[in-house]
Amino acid sequence: MLTDLTLTEARDRLRAGAFTALDLTRAYLDRIRAVDPQVRAFLLVTEEQALEAAQAADRRLAQGDDAPLLGIPLAIKDVLTTAGIPTTAGSRILEGFVPPYTATALERLFAAGAIMLGKTNTDEFAMGSSTENSGYCVTRNPWDLGRVPGGSSGGSAAAVAARMAPGALGTDTGGSVRQPAALCGVSAIKPSYGRVSRYGLIAFASSLDQIGAFGRTLADCAALLGVMAGHDPKDSTSVPDAPPDYTQALTGDVHGLRVGVPREFFIDGIEPDIERAVRAAIEQFAALGADVREISLPHTRYGIHVYYLIAPAEASANLARFDGVRYGPRARVEGMWPAYKVTRGQGFGPEVKRRIMLGTYALSAGYYDAYYLKAQKVRTLIRQDFEQAFREVDVILTPATPGTAFRIGEKIDDPLQMYLADIFTLTPSLAGVPAACVPCGFDANGLPVGLQIIGPAFDEATVLRAGDAYQRVTGWHTRRPQIAESS
């Protein structure tokens, strides 16, 4: 089946003329119709636009165009703006919003020939670890439809896992591409902060948000990242340095690579099946000739505290603009302040309200120095831990999550337990360094386990090289979930 091909396999066969972009796009649209009623990965399927784009891609292919993603269908997380196509950020407060512009990362993908299949579900404003906080529906894990796919990019991860797209875009603030990649058994990368333009990304926490990529393999992710990365004058936080050709880094060789294993990431509470799978993956790196050594990241234990002060504080400021005045539905209430209160009260879900309140409190007079400012100082210590570690090692290997996919509803009423699902992915985000996730095994229930690979700032190439080498000698990423198709 065409939908069993990886992104890079599909790209190469398209160029060889084995099938057309229209054939490939139709195959994925058929797959979406067959399995998405069970999975609910998509909020919107842009079938008409996808078929038109596929026909245009075939005309370019016939003319010998070798654009890097020509004819490749993708799923797009619904926090990235798309001109003329609704973008909701998973929130009722943006229901019906149609942006007048397209995010820079998407513009670059479309210019490279990529085709959008639709917009995927997300926790509201990317705030969540399970995609249960969406204002529209709950996405289900393709490996077990009674479990969550992770979040907030759960729709994109589930779409790739269920073979509804060969690749997808997500966003990662504290782990929102890596954690769902681990829970859904797919590959993903969060680039360094500043590597990919945030223009057109609906902001959650501006000093943390990054656009990331999903694929079945890290080679797929490298193909997507290579197109998206690079300076953008519309985003003052994007770095001016030109990115390397990431595909050239995929040599399959990690002999002599210095691999660090931080003792702080193997903690009480981690599921035994996850520790076994990750330890086995680390042994595989040693068998490939890597130099594996234990390291320390001493401020790791403060990561969750720091994140849940800084991220809600930034969310409080960013979400102040959603008041029903310029876009989105507005409550029909007399008076400015009553209209604001009712609009925001009805439009935001409980998790978004919780984080706005936490962030507003942390920024309020009398508490700013005690909470927000102190959190920023500890964030600096966390970043310095990584800088020190990368003087000794080239990459760091850790579990991606402390547990495999949990049941829908299991943690929704326990915010602290939900927040702990991201405990291993928070510190790389706070440090602004790149991190990837690759499948490295399954637990006793047949649920995927993810390995996190962390690299120095702006060295995505080494992260991709390490993960690709591991995937060349293992087959975890080739397994697929079985989902009954709708008749």
Are 192 and 307 within one domain? Answer: no
Side-chain-side CA neighbours of 288 within 13 Å: the count stands at: 26
Could you tell me the CATH number of the domain that includes residue 190? Answer: 3.90.1300.10
Active site residue 486: no
Are 324 and 252 within one domain? Answer: no
Q: What mean pLDDT is predicted for residues 345-359? A: 94
Pair of tokens at residue 476: 């975890």
Q: What mean pLDDT is predicted for residues 323-328? A: 84
Are 240 and 309 within one domain? Answer: no
Set 130, 152, 153, 197: catalytic member = 152
* Residue 143: predicted pLDDT: 98
Are 168 and 289 within one domain? Answer: yes
* Residue 337: predicted pLDDT: 83
- The SS3 of residue 324 is coil
Where among 377, 398, 425 does a domain terminate?
377
Are 131 and 158 within one domain? Answer: yes
Pair of tokens at residue 203: 């902001």
Question: Is 461 a member of any domain?
Answer: yes
Query: Do residues 481 and 4 lie in contact, with contact meaning Cβ atoms separated by under 8 Å?
Result: no
Where among 377, 412, 445 does a domain terminate?
377
Set 77, 119, 190, 411: catalytic member = 77
Are 178 and 211 within one domain? Answer: yes
Are 18 and 46 within one domain? Answer: yes
Are 158 and 113 within one domain? Answer: yes
Question: Is 486 a member of any domain?
Answer: no
Active site residue 353: no
Domain extent, residue 337, equals: 300-377
Q: How far apart are CA 216 and CA 349, in angstroms?
A: 32
Centroid of chain to Cα 339: 34
* Residue 319: predicted pLDDT: 95
Are 21 and 67 within one domain? Answer: yes
Question: Is 485 a member of any domain?
Answer: no
Are 355 and 433 within one domain? Answer: no
Active site residue 192: no
Q: Which residue has the higher pLDDT, 470 or 485?
A: 470
Q: CB 250: neighbour CB atoms within 10 A?
A: 22
Question: Is 153 a member of any domain?
Answer: yes
Q: What mean pLDDT is predicted for residues 209-215? A: 98
Average pLDDT, the chain: 96
Report the run of H or E that residue 228 belongs to, with start and end.
helix 218-228
Vertex 246: Cα angle to 241 and 250 (nearest 5) = 150
Where among 377, 400, 428 does a domain terminate?
377
List Cα–Cα distances, 1 to 70, 164, 168, 262, 383, in angstroms: 20, 12, 19, 41, 45
* Residue 234: predicted pLDDT: 97
* Residue 66: predicted pLDDT: 93
* Residue 332: predicted pLDDT: 85
Model confidence pLDDT, tens digit, residues 260-314: 999 999 988 899 999 999 999 999 999 999 999 999 999 999 999 999 999 999 9
Per-residue pLDDT at 471 exceeds 90: yes
Question: Is 484 a member of any domain?
Answer: no
Q: What mean pLDDT is predicted for residues 325-342? A: 84
Are 24 and 159 within one domain? Answer: yes
Set 91, 130, 176, 238: catalytic member = 176
Model confidence pLDDT, tens digit, residues 360-412: 999 998 888 899 999 999 999 999 999 999 999 999 999 999 999 999 999 99
* Residue 253: predicted pLDDT: 97
Question: Is 305 a member of any domain?
Answer: yes
Per-residue pLDDT at 487 exceeds 70: no
Are 361 and 397 within one domain? Answer: no
List Cα–Cα distances, 308 to 127, 312, 356, 405, in angstroms: 11, 6, 11, 22
Report the run of H or E that residue 171 belongs to, with start and end.
strand 167-172
Q: Give how many domains the chain has, as a whole number.
A: 2
Long-range contacts of 131-136 (CB under 8 A, 24+ apart): 131/155, 131/158, 131/180, 132/408, 132/409, 132/412, 133/90, 133/349, 133/350, 133/351, 133/352, 134/43, 134/90, 135/88, 135/90, 135/91, 135/92, 135/93, 135/95, 135/349, 136/43, 136/88, 136/90, 136/92
Question: Is 411 a member of any domain?
Answer: yes
Centroid of chain to Cα 32: 20
Question: Is 483 a member of any domain?
Answer: no
Q: How confident is the model at residue 76 (pLDDT cuts 50, 70, 90)?
A: very high
